[in-house]
Chains A and B, each alone.
Chain A
């Protein structure tokens, strides 16, 4: 489904590439952890998959189509098939939990009837039933993350991308959140998570892609955070 072929990404004004000659493939329904120290290139890889950035050289393809040749319409359709979960939640403070989740559907022109059906279902799935009228400021960090996940899954995406989604959470909340991602993955959604949560990575035994200084150093099915494990 996702094919990354010999990709190098150099940001404007930077001498060192964020990614350097990376090649990998991610299939439909996989659960993938991207690990590595800060600056390893995990976020850049997520941005390339989301089409927020384009590779300097090499290619990123979806179902055989190179993202560099996407028209504006194709780019939007691509993004609408993805759910993005951020470390800093990126919830709208002035909107309630329900409105934040509904927003993901409103911006793509979903009918009010469909929104009324899908939003409560997504909130129930992440364990936030009954919190519809709360504002983000009234929720804990873990709950805010769940709202972000509900917003990502409400549009039934093919891929969920998480850029260090547990970065601000304690161990228990991180574990619960990862279990939620695993549940979503069990439903057939591809999940790609960049993380530093080594204990969770080790415990979940999913595919691990390790990056360092922009280079792919390890790609293991049922892998661990560090190769010495």
Chain B
């Protein structure tokens, strides 16, 4: 009587039934599905927003770091040529340029926007020292090089904005921790939401599931419509989130590129960095729907 054999494999009729069933379920609970998709979209848009912000903060810090230069302030009697020769031979120094105190006061005037304010500070009354601006090859080598240069005869002070860099590093570290924490919390929140919604759907069909088991339906046959339902909701939400986020980000980057206030506020526009974020959101959102449904249905399969 019993035919032996392995597991029951779903055929095309079963798959067709499962697809139809998931669409029927979504149509039957249309507004619930819409609300779920929108909430998933909001969660993922915030998650994606944090990721984009993290990438941009990281890029800005890198720009600032790579533009860090050491300013070696010289005593008036310093041997500039000797210091420049030493810098030529110092490993890690990319380039250097001498700025005389006369040039310094002109540059300062330009930076202030009104050179008239500085009248009377020329010649003997110029308070600025001569200095050498030193660009380095590796930003992380800046503190060590600054200490080395500080020891050269004729160098009064080798400064590179140590406090600013330290502060930026600290802020970046905290931001990364915050972004990670917030992103994980939001992702978990969205999964919990899907679990709740699908559980409601499963509970509404608990009797049907029981009867299906009595009629000999396989676990996959019972599970699949719910998985498809959750995956579809997750996918719709993710598409809404990705499109909205993409549009908002495009507007912001266009605006920043047009009216850039500072060199370090250049937004990330490289596809190599943006595509993984948006593709990742699509995959994560869709998987979240699928996994959430799987977790919801698990305990109802024991008949």
Contact = CB atoms under 8 A, between A and B. Distances in A.
Given A79-B214, A90-B211, A90-B214, A109 B1 contact: no
Nearest to A70: B2
A108 B303 CA distance: 17
A63 B4 contact: no
Nearest to A81: B1
A116 interface: no
A71 B216 CA distance: 14
Contacts of A84: 214
A107 B216 contact: yes
B13 A77 contact: no
Interface string A74-88: 101111111010000
A25 interface: no
A11 interface: no
A25 B67 CA distance: 90
Given A71-B6, A72-B7, A76-B218, A107 B212 contact: yes
Contacts of A52: 303
B211 A77 contact: no
A110 B11 CA distance: 9
A140 interface: no
B174 interface: no
A7 interface: no
A76 B215 contact: no
A90 B221 contact: no
A76 B208 CA distance: 17
A108 B216 contact: yes
Interface in B4-42: 4-8, 10-11, 13-14, 17
A186 to B, nearest CB: 20
A90 B214 CA distance: 10
A111 B17 CA distance: 10
Given A79-B214, A79-B216, A109-B13, A92 B6 contact: no
Given A52-B303, A104-B215, A107-B217, A74 B2 contact: yes
B229 to A, nearest CB: 17
Given A73-B7, A109-B11, A111-B13, A63 B215 contact: no
Interface string A200-215: 0000000000000000
A1 interface: yes
A108 B215 contact: yes
Contacts of B212: 103, 107
A108 B211 CA distance: 12
A79 B8 CA distance: 12
B13 A76 contact: no
B3 interface: yes
B7 A1 contact: no
B77 interface: no
Given A71-B6, A103-B212, A109-B13, 7 more contacts: A65-B2, A72-B218, A77-B3, A78-B2, A79-B215, A81-B1, A108-B217
18 contacts: A62-B1, A63-B2, A65-B2, A73-B5, A73-B6, A74-B4, A74-B5, A77-B5, A84-B214, A90-B207, A90-B211, A92-B208, A106-B17, A107-B14, A107-B17, A107-B216, A109-B14, A111-B13
Interface of A: 1, 50, 52, 62-63, 65, 71-74, 76-82, 84, 90, 92, 103-104, 106-112, 151, 158
- In the A-B complex, the 9 residue pairs with the smallest Cβ-Cβ separation, listed nearest first, are A80-B216, A107-B217, A79-B216, A109-B14, A63-B1, A73-B7, A109-B11, A109-B13, A107-B215
